[in-house]
Amino acid sequence: MLGMAHPVLADNPIPTVVDSTRSGGLSVGFTFDDGPNPPDTLRLLDVLREHHVKAVFCLWGDHVRRHPEIVRQIVADRHTLCNHSMHHDDMATWSAEQIRADLLETSAAIRAAVPGAHIPYFRAPYGSWGQTPTVAADLGMQALGWRMAIGDWDPPGTAELIRRLREGITPGAVVLMHDGGGDRSQTVDAVDAVIPALRSEGWHLSLPARRG
C-alpha cells in the first residue's frame, strides 16, 4: 500500500546528509520545499490525503509566519516537518553561530503555529550545506538531501514532470519537489497522477532515513 502511518522517529541525528528512504526496495520518499503556499499546499494536502500518502514538508520560515493555519493542517494530516531556514538564504559560508540562530528562529516560527511540533529534519536552501549538517544535528535535526530533483522550480508542464518522475525515480530515493516558491499547480497535478501509477507497479511511499 502506498502510504504509511506516521512513525516515532529515532533520536540522535548525525552530521551527514541522508538522501534515501528508511524502507529500501521499491520505496520512494516525497518531499516538498518552500511552503506553506496557498492554494498549492492546500490542494497538495488534499491529493496526499486522497491517496493515503505521507510526505515531508520543508518549511520556509517567512512563509510559516504568513500562513500558520496551513502548517497546522500539515501536522493535522500527520505529515513530517522539516526546517528549511527562515529566509531561504545560502548558508554555505555562514558560521555555526549564524546557522544556529537561523535554525532556532525557524523552528520557533513553526512551533508558534503548532506548539510542541516535532521537526526531525533540516534541509539547506539550494543544497548549500556548509556547516549546517553539524549544527542541525546538534539541534536534533537530521540533514535531509535528495537523490532526485524534478526541476519544478521552472515549471515545464505537468506531462514533463510526470515523465521525469516515472523515468527518474530509483529504489529508495528521496525526491525533491516544491509546493511553494511560485505557482506549483503543475507539481500537484503530477503527484496526483504519479501516485496511482507507482502503486500499480508495486512501489510504496516511505519517509526518509533518520540517520546516515
The whole-angstrom separation of Cα 28 and Cα 117 is: 24
Give the C-alpha separation, 85 to 89, whole Å.
Answer: 7
Which residues are catalytic, by number? 33, 178
CA atoms within 13 A on the CB side of 43: 17
